Amino acid sequence: MNRRLIFVFSSLLLVASMLLSACAPAATPAPAAPAATEAPAATEAPAVEQPTEAPAMEEVALRWRTRPDNQEEADVYASISDELDAKLEGITLSYEPGGSESSSYQDVLKTEIGAGTAPDVFWIPGSDVGDFAKRGLILNLADQASMTDGFNIDDFYAGPMAALTHNPDTNAEGADSGALWGLPRDVSTFVLYLNNDLLAEAGATDPRELAAKGEWTWDA
């Protein structure tokens, strides 16, 4: 019984005693009896706090984007996204294929990042990782990776991971660089064909000699 009900119930008893006293015939006054001492009022038991329910998990919606070469590739990513979406509780995945390289995929992405409308996860060429990192356009995932059981940078090819773990502040690379800008989607190999006869006629140094000295670069 709560306090309000106790208050109402006590008030009704008080009103009833007044009515009964008013309706009864007058009686001969009797000697006054000594006043009875009142019993001490009982103290209320402290209220028991009810356990609070944990707040409901907020639904998380994630958008992710790649630059597929064709519709078949886009369909594969969409299928993977739908499969993961069905398994992940509290997370909604939405895949959106990006345009081709000729449609300025990276430029559109940079504009969206500036406007706050870019997808949460996206693909960029390895050659753009350094630029995106220096400009603060991508998140350093090193701390999250260090807290993920079973994650090991060495499980990936060293070539692409060199760019993805490059720390622009220290120029360090690898597992201890303190930087992780993403994970490789795939690995491609660029092949350069040279006509040694034409190089010799032009008086240019044989690239194989430069490569042996470690001096062959794109500018050589």
**In the prediction, which pLDDT does 4 show?**
33
Q: What is the Cα–Cα distance from 105 to 113, expressed in whole angstroms? A: 12
Whole-model pTM above 0.85?
A: no
Nearest partner of 156 among 178, 131, 180, judged by Cα: 180
128 burial level (CB within 10 Å; 0-12, 13-18, 19+): middle
Give tens-digit pLDDT for 79-93. Answer: 999 999 999 999 999
**In the prediction, which pLDDT does 51 show?**
65
Q: What is the Cα–Cα distance from 161 to 183, expressed in whole angstroms? A: 7
Q: What is the Cα–Cα distance from 95 to 75, expressed in whole angstroms? A: 10
Residues, the chain: 220
The average pLDDT across 49-60 equals 73
Domain annotation for the chain: domains and CATH numbers: 57-123 (3.40.190.10), 125-186 (no CATH), 190-220 (no CATH)
**Res. 23 pLDDT band, cuts 50 70 90:** very low
Q: What is the mean pLDDT of the chain?
A: 79
**In the prediction, which pLDDT does 183 show?**
94
Give tens-digit pLDDT for 115-156. Answer: 999 999 999 988 899 999 999 999 999 999 999 999 999 999
The token pair at 70 is: 């064709």
Q: What is the Cα–Cα distance from 64 to 66, expressed in whole angstroms? A: 7
The average pLDDT across 21-32 equals 41
